[in-house]
């Protein structure tokens, strides 16, 4: 996807409370309707008044966010530019970009390669975040690649070496035990966690709560579970 100059982009080395990459599954197990539910769920979460309010309540009153869409480990990823979000108008710019993002990737489930791509996206992005997080969402386990590539163990080690926390959002549409697999194989870093969506129709609810926890922490979550 082209790196367009859009409202909400950051100045060089702008300080923010969180650098967040949403790393989203578009592998073959995700059909077109399910892909749209993910995009719409992310957009809805950033339009949520509670999410918008807590973004402004940190020390710097802003976060930086981008999205990476991945599938087969050996194919190019689809991605947005980085966006600065410090008010509802900037949140809407990001939401509208995500909501209209076409599907450009498909194939096997290359979580490790998608995670590594997401971590590298934080390099020289113009932000200095107090915390850096990659949010991996998907509906299946990593599948064996056809050639040498970055797998989950290497990507997790990469995250730990760079101080990046990896959280998971396991979509329980096809694999009932995926939450445990994400807990064992995907999440890493201090206070990392896994959330669950009970199918793609539940993705928006889970993403909203996950953003609240990622932006402000676990202590804030109990007030917003309804």
Q: Tell me how many helices (H) and strands (E) the chain has.
A: 8, 7
User: What predicted TM-score, i.e. pTM, was given to this entire model?
Assistant: 0.90
The CATH superfamily holding the domain 20-217 is von Willebrand factor, type A domain (3.40.50.410)
Q: Which two tokens stand for residue 103?
A: 């599907």
Cα separation, 216 vs 202, whole angstroms: 22
pLDDT the model gives residue 2: 34
Taking 50 as the pLDDT cut, the residues of the chain under it are 1-7, 9-11, 220, 222, 225-226
pLDDT the model gives residue 133: 98
pLDDT the model gives residue 183: 98
Sorted by where each begins, the domain ranges of the chain are 20-217
Question: How many alpha carbons fall within 13 Å on the CB side of residue 77?
Answer: 26
DSSP 56: T
Question: How many alpha carbons fall within 13 Å on the CB side of residue 68?
Answer: 26
Question: How many alpha carbons fall within 13 Å on the CB side of residue 72?
Answer: 13
E strand residue ranges, 3-144: 14-25, 63-70, 78-79, 83-85, 127-138
Which residues fall within 8 angstroms of residue 101, CB to CB, at 6 or more apart? 1, 39, 67, 69, 78, 80
pLDDT the model gives residue 148: 73
Q: Yes or no: say if 134 and 163 are a contact pair by the CB < 8 Å rule.
A: no
C-alpha closest to that of 210 among 171, 181, 159, 154: 171
Q: Which two tokens stand for residue 69?
A: 């869409």
Helix/strand/coil for 195 = strand
pLDDT the model gives residue 144: 85
Question: How many alpha carbons fall within 13 Å on the CB side of residue 80?
Answer: 26
C-alpha closest to that of 208 among 220, 66, 166, 187: 220
């Amino acid at each position: 996807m082209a790196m367009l100059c859009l409202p909400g982009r950051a100045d060089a080395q702008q300080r923010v409370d969180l650098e967040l990459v949403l790393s989203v599954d578009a592998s073959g197990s995700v059909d077109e309707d399910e892909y749209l539910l993910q995009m719409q769920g992310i957009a809805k979460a950033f339009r949520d008044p509670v999410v918008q309010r807590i973004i402004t309540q940190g020390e710097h009153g802003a976060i930086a966010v981008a999205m990476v869409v991945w599938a087969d480990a050996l194919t190019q990823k689809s991605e947005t530019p980085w966006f600065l979000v410090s008010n509802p108008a900037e949140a809407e710019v990001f939401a509208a970009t995500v909501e209209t993002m076409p599907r450009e990737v498909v194939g096997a489930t290359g979580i490790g390669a998608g995670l590594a791509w997401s971590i590298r996206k934080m390099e020289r992005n113009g932000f200095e975040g107090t915390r850096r997080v990659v949010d991996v969402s998907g509906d299946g386990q990593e599948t064996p690649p056809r050639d040498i590539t970055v797998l989950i163990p290497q990507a997790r080690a990469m995250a730990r070496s760079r101080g990046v926390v990896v959280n998971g959002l396991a979509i329980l549409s096809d694999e009932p035990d995926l939450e445990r697999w994400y807990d064992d194989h995907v999440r890493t870093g201090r206070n990392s966690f896994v959330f669950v969506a009970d199918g793609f129709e539940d993705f928006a609810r889970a993403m909203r709560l996950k953003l609240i926890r990622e932006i402000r922490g676990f202590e804030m979550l109990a007030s917003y579970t309804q």
